[in-house]
Structure 1
Amino acid sequence: MTVKGFCAGAAVSAAASAFVLSAAGQQSSVNPSFTAEQAGAGRQVFQTNCATCHGADLSGGPYAPPLAGRAFVDVWSKRSTRDLIESIRTMPPANPRMFDDDARLNLAAYILQTNGIAAGPGRLTLTAADALASLKTSRPAVAAATPATDTQSGPPPCPDVAQSQTAPNSARRGRVSGASASEWPVYGGSSSNQRYSTLAAITPSNVTSLGGAWATQLPGRTNQTGLTMSNGLIFVPTANCQVVALNAKTGEIVWEFALPERPARRGVAVGNDVGLVFAVGSTGSITAINAETGKSMWTHRLTPDPAHGRPANITSAPTYARGVLLVSISGGDSGRRGGVSALDAVTGKEMWRFYAVPQPGERGSETWPNNEMWRAGGGAVWSPPAVDLELGLVYFGTGNANGNPDGLLGQHPTKHPGPHPSHAGDLRPGTALFTASVVALDLKTGAYRWHFQLTHHDIFDMDVVTPVVLYDTTVGGRARKGIAVLRTDGYLFLLDRVDGSPLLPIEERPVPQDPYQVTFPTQPFPVGGDQVVPNCVEPWLMPPGFKSGCYFTPLNQPNLMVPYIGTRQAPMAYSRDTGYFYMAASVNPFWATRFGIGFGEPGQRSYGLISAVDSRTNKIVWQQRSSYPLGHGGGILATAGGVVFQGDADGNVRALDARTGEPRWQFQTGVGAASAPFITYELDGEQYIALAPSGAASSQGGLGSAQSPGDMVWAFKLGGRLQPQAPPPLPPLVQTFEGRGVVASTNQIVIDFTERDKDTIRPPGFRIDDYETFEPRRVEVPAGTRVTWKNTGHEPHTIRVRGQIWTTGAIKPDSAGSIQFDVPGRYVFTCESHPWQQGEITVRR
């Protein structure tokens, strides 16, 4: 999967080994020169902008590769400082060239220092071309990787976090004993992941009386955080490396616990029978906390994957079931293998681990090519598993195949030199088990039981990310144990969770083919099932110059927009009363090629959908539309009272009639609420609805992204007296040029042409990935300025100002053309032969 988080900072891909070294024969043999001052400044820039994706210690994360250690050194020790600086220039993917020259040099200095090169008296400059052969790593090679122990050092502690402390007992009011239907101990509400509660006090007829019961400001911000509740306490991890326990009746802080690293975003799990709260860190730390006192009971760090020696990445809340803690391992987009680890909840000892990509000789390895692709094969597990305690089985979905050991993620197609891992199918023929699948394992042993692959040879980024849901049903008059699995394109697959066989028919259908990407001839589809999102990009959502694509359209055109994200990540709910599944979706077009995915092109639009699908027929019962994408958000909560809840990027939380979809209530939280999952619980006979609206982005590329961060937990009840807040700044409905490159004060623009399709086996002259680029893409000039375009490409180009008759005329290679701008305003310019390429000129008075 390409986007499960939103990195605004710089990124230096280890995969930049694909860069051509234009100065390879002129590299200096001396160590690169930089000052301690530059490295220190670079550290500040990195921690502020880059650590979320690349890890605070540069060891890599779920969305970006490592910038230190063996994997980085193996690639970059053959490169030069010039290549490193140039790579930083193309980052971050969402905002290339965000950093000025000084920031790029400082970042490069910090990366070099972290990798064993000492600072000196001379400053690093843009013209430096020193070889990086002296890069060092103290991290073990793959063959030398050893099991981690509880005492092994991990990433550095989070800064400025106080030690664990317990509030006075006076905060401990309204406690209940034992786990029950009135609690919410795990992310999905229960081990079934239904996000359903039997609480029924809040109904369509009285939900208008719902008001704020309490609202608590946390000591740190939240980010896509799911709450858990048990024994009268709500547990919430924060972005400043803490787990905070709140009194579920009053919102008072009971205790705070300092974690060793930043927690995975989506929450913690509670084991009532062992009295522990389990928090997982983003690079593999696991901590058990006493639920009563907030004291540490044990810690464990997952050992690196022996396939490559890289640390585990975790982006999901864990799941607890009968003494077993299940931890989902992601990182599939950054050159890792995904999987699931099971730990003894009392001792922290790892019981078993399953990798979604098998090594040679293991079950499923025959579906991978006979090369090293499996080592970085992907198959990330992005969401909490579900567990059937009666069957003793654990179930989870897996992400897209990868196969690129350097791990490229979401690079803009005009900015990155290497093939995107999940799109470059020609590099890894085969169905690539167990990626893009649902897998069932034995809970106690991790032994394989069954699988069902939803996308064969995935080159479309069709992760199974939405948490799978267990439910019971009747088919043909016979009781069956079902599992619902949602594919990214909006199709729901209903299987028997005993053996993986279809409950409702599924067939293989032909899909469009591209022999150069080794597309698989067929893909599975539910027979008669409704697709909850449009299958193809609606033309009105696209900027001018692009072509409309569909799900499973081969990415073999330079200006193709395809549907993206759809039904992915946002958890769905299942109501035992209606028999409906409720799901949140995004309708997003994105510019996609074999070499990457654009991060929202100016003029692009998107929207969201909430759908109810009947489990007995797989047909849509009702849909509601949102102005903002919802597929990357907090999903739906269903209750026995006949009400479902969802949040939106405009700050409103809403209640809908579960049977009809009719809106019944809304409340303004003051911060974007699309990414916050709801929970419900009961204390002293009152039903509460709670969430932590985080303001985090609900879609890639800016559309639907809330404009204000969140640090509050809200709880609602009937008769609650807290009033709605002022709305936050509204997210844009149309993508603009804001954030799409630095605005340069110049009247000179270079038209360049990047040819990157040389590594594919295509007919001569057939280049689908040649791109015209503008450098800079955005400029600002005073009125009366003549702006000049210099053509450094190999074919003529004509620049035209959109909405005007102004044009440069044909500009031949190595020639220039210009246009006079006299009237203040903002103007979009394009190339007549490549109208999807666009830039912006701001003319000031």
Structure 2
Amino acid sequence: MKFNPILSSLIAIAAMTTPTIMFGAAADLNACCTPADKDQPKVGGNLGNQSYSALNQINRSNISNLGAAWMTSMSEAAVTTPTPGPGAARSGQQTTPIVVDGVIYLDTPAGGVAAVDGATGAVKWKWQPTTADSGFGTNGTRRGVSVGDGKVFTLAAGGRVVALDKNTGAQVWVSQPRGPGDATLGGIAKGATVYHDGMVYIGTNDGNRGSAFAVKSSDGSIVWSFYGGAEPGRVVTDVNGVTTDAGATWGPLQANGLSCAVTGGVTPWIHGSIDPELGMAYYTFGNVRSCGSSQDGQQRPGDNLFGNSVVALDLKTGAYKWHFQSIRHDIWDMDNVHPPVLADVNVNGQQRKALYYGSKSAMTFVLDRTNGKSITGVVEKGRPQDSRQHTPATQKFPAQGMWLPECVVWERLGTDNIPGDPWRGVPNYNGYQPDASGNLVYNDTNYLDVDKPYVTYPSDYGANHRKGCMYDPHFDYPVLSTTTQNGGADWSNHGYSPRTNLVYIPYGVANVAHYRSAGSNGLRALGEYQTGGVVALNASTNEVVWRNHLGLDAAHGQSPLITAGDVLFVGQPDGMFYALDAVDGKTLWRFQTNGDVEGGAVTYTIGSTQYVAVLGQGDKLWAFKLGGSYKTATGSSEAPTPAPFVVRRAVSGSAVEGSTVNNTVYLARANQTTDTAASADSIATNGMSPTHMRVPVGTTVTFLNPGSAQFPVAPNTKVHCATQFFEGLFNPKLAPGESFQYKFTKEGEYFYNDCTDPRPTGKIVAYHEPQDMPGALQFVPNILNLRPANGVFTSVQGLVTAMFKVPAGYTLDGSVQLKTPLSTTLFPAVTAKMTSDGKTLIATFDKALIDNNLPMGDAVPVTVTANFMNGGAQKQLSSTANVRVVK
């Protein structure tokens, strides 16, 4: 992928010069908000988690000249300590690297730690403990290390904190911290460590009860701990003099004599922020998940402190200072746990010590970090109530509102509306069903009728039913709402630039259905699109300035890096690494790393050169610099494009060829054989049989609501639907024993669900069996010149032209694509048209998209496929030509 071609040629000219690096003294981590510069010594850049660097050699004017400098596989690098040994190919890690004195420190895919020369990519050492040599192994998922006191601090299996020698990787000490009375502190495994002034600050993840704690950097002995779930009798008084009986916010004790707080989770599973001047550490504590589940609040009436709260603690003692709870009595798993961003900003003419807090809820609260009070205003909004769930009458919202829509968008179904609004809801949820024109309208008789005696609505809600808005309550049946589960910002770091005075938030969009028995943290509606991007807020007013909807989830570790060059770097799950304009959000540059980018980037200088580094696929560490001309084995700088990213929530079950089941789908049944009462009228997500059917284009599929003829003992007894979305091609409502047929005339994937309960969802994939046309394809010219004009990958530009001879009677019907040897992704044509005589298809393809997916060689096979209409049916023609590829 290349530099945005719409930018002017003046930028390309400017790219050929290298400005002088501007930076002051290295950030010493003695102040919250000193920008990182030649190094980036902490995950989040500095103690205030601003993810900002004062470096500006790489900037908006020369970003087109940014190229790869080197790439190193962290898994394949040899282990050097404790026991030397070979590496082993492995992928998947969520770490954000840090840099100290030109050396990059990061977690490896296997959960170890490595030190890498920032100029060359050479691995200096790699630590990978085993039970044989250390008595313990590693944790799988890690999100960053810290450096201080001559050591690197990480976490390992068994709840261990480990200090390594910064220069050699040798183990200095290993500790297993415990709480008062030898109590567990929670899961010590994933979160990034934070070093400051002789102490290491850590947050726990998972487990029955979570805590934030600190240990001495000299020996790992525990200094203090603070539990997120307040036990009975826990009374706190904040710096404003307000006293709160936090332990009383969990309801009565359970039959076993314990409070729900001691099994409530409430973990600070992302690292905190530090303000040394104020002597405070700030931790965000997550959702409540005890006494039932994270979706069930029946047994824990009350606000459930300190769930979904940011808590300020004394740096040296862990003593409580203040808290701000963003969500009372959470039954949605909306844990707001992103690392708080600290900044000194001007608000209404006054310099304020601000803290920016928010996450999955798509809200950002701007607080005074000295006392926890709001700076830009908070409003209490009435929310629908379910008396069984003890839901609070109001919830907090920023006065400026959310930065994503507050409610699901119930958008019209139609072939002309694909993919549609990013926040569109899947039909049939919440009673929204398509009318004859495909409009999703509320049907007052629906599967949620059983809730009506228990649910009430505030006068300003605007409806007497659940619209799919933030904090809509639920009970035993699914209620779709925004922006939960992997929506909002979840756990990506946020960022702040003092140059633009903007706060940057990566986000994801995924409406989620909640109900008490929902697994994990709710059901993301099957068939729903996954999208996301980056939003920027004015730090002084908390108002949205711009949004770049990149198209894929950016809420899960895709943390931004902002520089004084006014460039924002951020990765995506499809392996793409982007550079955006930090001022207006426009895309400036992009690079394919070949794997999910699940962490943030880092920037640093060595000598007179600024570098940017990021981990792709949790394994490949890429570094970039101006004029970088590193080449992979294929001769291109970029890695091949990975397999197509799945952007719609998959149905359960493996694909079944339609011919094996008589091209018939049974509605509301998990299979086509079991004849028991428990199998009838299924409301499970796999309650379509088969859930995933593949058929050739032109096949007629039967949708059957099986009755007594199919199941004599336990037939379905209810009406069921096959509501196709989002194209809206069919929506039969079938009584038991009734069937409906639909002929799939074009390729594609067609999701459908049930109106009786929206959870049962199926998918029909209509595919082509391509007709091969040997000799029909040629490229003009037959030599594909993919050499970068100036040595940097961004200068591979232009079009490749293909000519495809077409049989008589074939009319182009779209979907002209190119297949390359190095990727399973198909690349769409830039232009495609038939010659005036209808005998030849002329298609062009972007060199910038395909050069990293073609190997060099004299006879490289390249295939073009295209869909045509012939005899009233869609057909696919395919042809392959061998071309010479030079790089």
Query: TM-score when scaled to structure 2?
Result: 0.64
Equivalent residues of 2:287, 2:330 under 8 A apart: yes
Match of 2:546 among 605, 622, 626: 622
Shift of 1:305: 8.8
The residue correspondences of 1:70-109 to structure 2 (distance < 5 A) are: none
- Give the whole-Å Cα distance in 1 for the aligned partners of 2:338 and 2:364: 11
- The answer to whether 1:608 aligns with 2:532 is yes
Contact between 1:549 and 1:560, CA under 8 Å: does it hold in 2?
A: yes
Structure 2 alignment gaps of length 5 or more: 1-25, 30-35, 76-89, 130-135, 236-245, 411-419, 431-466, 631-636, 671-681, 770-887
In the other structure, the counterpart of 2:365 is 493
Post-superposition offset of 1:713: 0.2
Query: Does residue 537 of structure 1 match 2:451?
Result: no
The corresponding residue for 2:60 is 204
Q: Which moved more, 1:830-839 or 1:279-288?
A: 830-839
SS in 2 for 1:208: helix
Query: Does the 8 Å contact 2:700/2:743 carry over to 1?
Result: yes
Distance, in Å, in 2 between the alignment partners of 1:522 and 1:203 is 45
Displacement after TM superposition at 1:441 (Å): 0.6
Over 3 Å counting, the alpha-carbon distance change for 1:197 and 1:455 in structure 2 is same
Corresponding residue number in structure 2 for 1:715 = 623
* 2:142 is equivalent to residue 218 of structure 1: no
Q: Which moved more, 1:715-724 or 1:262-271?
A: 262-271
* CA deviation string 1:24-48 (max 9, x = no partner): xxxxxxxxxxxxxxxxxxxxxxxxx
Is 370-379 or 298-307 further displaced after alignment? 298-307
Amino acid at match of 2:146: V
Other-structure match for 2:269: 382
Query: 1:69-109: CA deviations, max 9, x gaps?
Result: xxxxxxxxxxxxxxxxxxxxxxxxxxxxxxxxxxxxxxxxx
What amino acid is aligned across from residue 427 of structure 2 in structure 1? P
**1:247 and 2:117 equivalent?**
yes
Distance 2:189 2:508 in 1: 24
| 1:49-68 equivalent positions in 2, closer than 5 A | none
Check conservation: 2:107, 2:145, Cα contact below 8 A. Answer: no
Cα offset, 1:741, TM superposition: 5.7
- Separation in structure 2 between the aligned mates of residue 198 and residue 841 of structure 1, nearest angstrom: 52
Secondary structure of the 1:357 match is coil
Q: Can you give the 5+ residue segments of structure 1 that lack an aligned partner in the other structure? A: 1-175, 405-418, 695-709, 755-768
Q: Secondary structure at the match of 1:366?
A: helix
> 1:341: how far off?
1.4
Matched to 1:397, the amino acid is T
Q: Is the contact made by 2:497 and 2:562 (CA closer than 8 Å) also made in structure 1?
A: yes
Aligned residue runs from structure 1 range 174-573, under 5 A: 181-219=37-75, 220-259=90-129, 260-263=136-139, 265-272=141-148, 274-281=149-156, 283-303=158-178, 312-331=187-206, 336-363=208-235, 364-371=246-253, 372=258, 373-404=260-291, 421-527=293-399, 529-539=400-410, 540=420, 541-547=424-430, 549-556=468-475, 558-563=477-482, 564=484, 565-573=487-495
Distance 1:473-1:240 versus aligned 2 partners, 3 A rule: same
Give, in whole Å, the separation in 1 of the partners of 2:392 and 2:539. 29
Question: Which SS does the other structure have where 2:127 is aligned?
Answer: strand
CA distance in 1, matches of 2:554, 2:750: 31
Change (3 A) 1:636 1:618: same
- Distance (Å, rounded) in 2 between the aligned partners of 1:734 and 1:770: 21
Question: Per the alignment, in what secondary structure is the counterpart of residue 681 of structure 1?
Answer: strand
Q: CA deviation at 1:549?
A: 0.6
Q: CA deviation at 1:313?
A: 4.2
Aligned CA distance change for structure 1 residues 798 and 446 (closer, same or farther; 3 Å): closer
What are the superposed Cα offsets for residues 411-469 of structure 1, whole Å, 9 maximum, x if unpaired? xxxxxxxx5x2221222100011110000111111111111111111112221121101
Q: Deviations over 1:323-373 (max 9, x none)?
A: 110111121xxx511221110011110111110012221231011112131
What is the distance in 2 between the residues matched to 1:211 and 1:345?
A: 38
Greater CA deviation, 714-723 or 728-737? 728-737
Q: Corresponding residue for 1:29?
A: none
The structure whose Rg is larger is 2
Q: Deviations over 1:608-641 (max 9, x none)?
A: 1311111111111111111112122322111112
* Distance in 2 of aligned mates of 1:570 and 1:806: 39
* Cα distance change of structure 1 residues 268 and 800 upon mapping to structure 2, 3 Å threshold: closer
Q: Using the alignment, how far apart are the partners of 1:535 and 1:341 within structure 2?
A: 35
Structure with greater proportional strand content: 2
Return the structure number with greater helix share.
Answer: 1
1:778 aligns with 2:691: yes
| Corresponding residue pairs, total | 615
Contact preservation (8 Å) 2:252, 2:300: no
- Worse overlay, 340-349 or 773-782: 773-782
Superposition deviation, residue 743 in structure 1: 5.0
CA distance in 2, matches of 1:305, 1:770: 46
- With over 3 angstroms needed to count, the CA separation of the structure-2 counterparts of 1:832 and 1:588, relative to structure 1, is closer
- Check 1:231–1:546 CA distance in 2 against 1; reply closer, same or farther (3 A cut): same
Secondary structure in 1 aligned to 2:470? coil
* Contact 2:683 2:760 (8 Å CA) reproduced: no
Q: Distance in 2 between matches of 1:827 and 1:587?
A: 21
1:192-217 per-residue CA deviation (whole Å, 9 max, x = no partner) reads 11111111211111121111111111
Counterpart Cα distance in 2 of 1:283 and 1:535: 41
Q: Cα–Cα, structure 1 residues 309 and 277, in superposed 2: closer, same or farther, change >3 Å?
A: closer
Residue deviations 1:540-583, cap 9 Å, x none? 53333223511111124835321222122111101111111011
SS at 1:367 equivalent? helix
Q: Identify the range of structure 1 (740-749 vs 558-567) with the bigger mean alpha-carbon deviation.
A: 740-749
Counterpart amino acid of residue 192 in structure 1:
G
Q: CA deviation at 1:665?
A: 1.8
Secondary structure at 2:511 match in 1: strand
Q: Secondary structure at the match of 1:616?
A: coil
Residues 328/793 of structure 1: CA separation in 2 closer, same or farther (3 Å cut): farther
**How much does 1:797 deviate?**
3.3
Deviations 1:285-309 (A, max 9, x none): 1110000111000001233897986
Letter in 1 for 2:559: G
Q: Which structure 2 residues correspond to residues 570-719 of structure 1 after superposition, within 5 A?
A: 570-596=492-518, 599-673=523-597, 675-694=598-617, 710-719=618-627
Q: Select which of 619, 630, 649 maps to 1:735.
A: 649
CA 823–510 in structure 1, closer or farther in 2 if over 3 Å, else same: closer
Native 8 Å contact 2:309 2:323 kept in 1: yes
Relative to the length of structure 1, the TM-score reads 0.67
The one-letter amino acid of 2:426's match is P
Which residue does 1:121 correspond to in 2? none
Task: Provide the rounded CA distance (Å) in 2 between the counterparts of 1:643 and 1:829.
Answer: 42
Q: CA contact under 8 A between 2:527 and 2:751: conserved in structure 1?
A: no
Distance 1:269 1:353, change over 3 A: same
Maintained 8 Å contact 2:27/2:39: no
| Secondary structure, aligned partner of 2:329 | coil
Q: Alignment RMSD, CA only? A: 3.3
Bigger Cα displacement from structure 2, 467-476 vs 790-799: 790-799
In structure 2, the CA distance between the partners of 1:741 and 1:461, relative to structure 1 (3 Å rule), is farther
Equivalent-residue separation in structure 2 for 1:384 and 1:226 (angstroms): 12
> Greater shift after overlay, 635-644 or 213-222?
213-222
Change (3 A) 1:787 1:324: same
* 1:498-544 CA distance string (max 9 Å, x none): 111122222322222222211111112222x2422111122353333
Is the 8 Å Cα contact of residues 751 and 773 (structure 1) preserved in structure 2? no
**Distance in 1 between residues matched to 2:111 and 2:357, nearest whole Å:** 32
Equivalent residues of 2:566, 2:583 under 8 A apart = yes
Which residue identity is paired with 2:106? V
Q: CA deviation at 1:387?
A: 0.7
